Amino acid sequence: MDVSEIIIAGDTPGVVWRLPVFRFEGASAEAPRIYIQAALHANELPGTALLHFLLDRLRQADRDGAILGGITIVPQANPIGSAQAHFGELQGRFDLGSRTNFNRDFPLISLEDRDCLLEQPDLYSAADRLKRHLLHMALGADLVLDLHCDDEGLQYAYIDEAFWPDAADLAAALDMQAVLLSDGESSAFEEAVAHAWKHGREGERRTTLPGRLSVSVELRGTRDVYPELARKDAEGVFRFLVGRGIVAAPKAGLQAFAGKAVPLDNIEMIRAPEAGAILFHRDIGDNVKAGDLLATILARPGAPEGTIEIRAPQDGLVVTRVSTRFARRRSDLMKIACAEPSRAARKPGTLEA
Ligand SMILES: [Zn+2]
């Protein structure tokens, strides 16, 4: 195993960011290569814990000579975000300097232009240099896992339709309860990776990508960082690596994926019609029926008619819920995975900013 650091100059004097990268060389040229990163949103640590335990497992496999495909791992992908403590709270989702989401605005390039990502660094801010380094590493692999988590959430993933159902082995290995099939129309990291593959050369446009995979895994909620969960998830990713022939080990009988796979159009984003304290009646993992009471908003607390009831628009599985208990008008409360398309309008791309 090789450990190195990517060094990125900060945007102000005296600041340098260091990004540790763990690499295992594969023994077989035919085996797929994988890139895995966690905590691109710096406040989402379940993946960092997962990769800590996975690296332990891989060092053992390395000693046994069992690593077949190249493996690159970045357990904490965003040192810039990790440093952003603002009034006592970690602000890991948006770059405070530019107000951009750390998981948007990745360059949409052709695979053949991969090496251009690291040219002329002086043209880019530290956050953009970080993004270009991460994308450059990912584009050296065949399989890419970007480990995130939701606010309160089930184990689920965003997977471009181009990779489904090929990715069902990953969903099964990580015991996912839902897979949200996306349209690949954003500048999020996993979609920038897929974009480069789809547009291998200038003018090329592929719709299927056999042998490739780029997904955003949502490892439950931000507070679901525990040794048992992280070890279980690390075991899951290890089984996936064995199944894909990246690590040589006896293949344990993998259960088939038993969760739901639904297009993003079938996600009901439940929003607060008015501001107020949120009283949730249903939790993540609940199967709800159309008309079920999901939450009550105390819009005018104390007033006899001061509450607003929010009901399920159709039957579905509650996949996520916010952890705050105060809603602003139109703020997101829940995502519900449903059998039918939502009647609410949705822009192409991701569900959230
Ligand atoms: Zn995230």
Q: Are strands 152-153 and 316-321 parallel, antiparallel or unpaired?
A: antiparallel
pLDDT digits (tens, 9 = 90+) for 129-182: 999 999 999 999 999 999 999 999 999 999 999 999 999 999 999 999 999 999
> pLDDT digit string (tens) for 9-31?
999 999 999 999 999 999 999 99
320 band by pLDDT with thresholds 50, 70 and 90:
very high
Cα of 291 from ligand 1 centre, angstroms = 30
Give the distance (Å) from ligand 1 centre to CA of residue 148. 4
Tokens of 169: 């082995």
Cβ-based neighbour number of residue 281 at 10 Å:
14
Give the distance (Å) from ligand 1 centre to CA of residue 273. Answer: 25
Q: Give the SS3 label for residue 240.
A: helix
pLDDT at 204 over 80: yes
Question: ∠ CA(317), CA(183), CA(103), 5° rounding?
Answer: 90
Instruction: Tell me the CA–centroid distance for residue 188 and ligand 1, in Å.
Output: 10
Residues with C-beta atoms within 5 A of ion ligand 1 = 41, 44, 148
CA 233–ligand 1 middle distance (angstroms): 17
| Dist. CA 150 → ligand 1 center (Å) | 7
Structure tokens at 244: 């894909």
Query: 154: CA distance to ligand 1 center in Å?
Result: 14
The pLDDT tens digits for 272-289 are: 999 999 999 999 999 999
Angle value at C-alpha 101, between 313 and 14, nearest 5 degrees: 160
The answer, yes or no, to whether residue 346 has pLDDT greater than 90, is no
SS3 122: helix
Is the separation of the CB atoms in 349 and 186 below 8 Å? yes
CA 308 to centroid of chain Cα atoms: 33
The DSSP string of 59-90 is HHHHHTT-B-S-EEEESS--HHHHT-EETTEE
Q: How far is the CA of 158 from the centre of ligand 1 (A)?
A: 11
pLDDT digits (tens, 9 = 90+) for 281-315: 999 999 999 999 999 999 999 999 999 999 999 99
Alpha carbon of 128 to ligand 1 centroid (Å): 17
Residue 219, pLDDT above cutoff 90? yes
pLDDT in tens, 177-194: 999 999 888 899 999 999
Which of 115, 166, 105 has its CA nearest to residue 350? Answer: 105
Q: Is residue 112 helix, strand or coil?
A: helix
- Give me ligand 1 centre to Cα 301, in Å: 33
pLDDT in tens, 77-128: 999 999 999 999 999 999 999 999 999 999 999 999 999 999 999 999 999 9
Q: What angle do CA 275, 276, 278 make, to 5 degrees?
A: 120
Spacing, Cα 219 to ligand 1 middle (Å): 10
Task: Note the residue count of the chain.
Answer: 353
Contacts of 345 (CB under 8 A, 6+ apart): none
**pTM check: above 0.85:** yes
Q: How far is the CA of 105 from the centre of ligand 1 (A)?
A: 14
Q: Would you state the pLDDT for residue 353?
A: 63
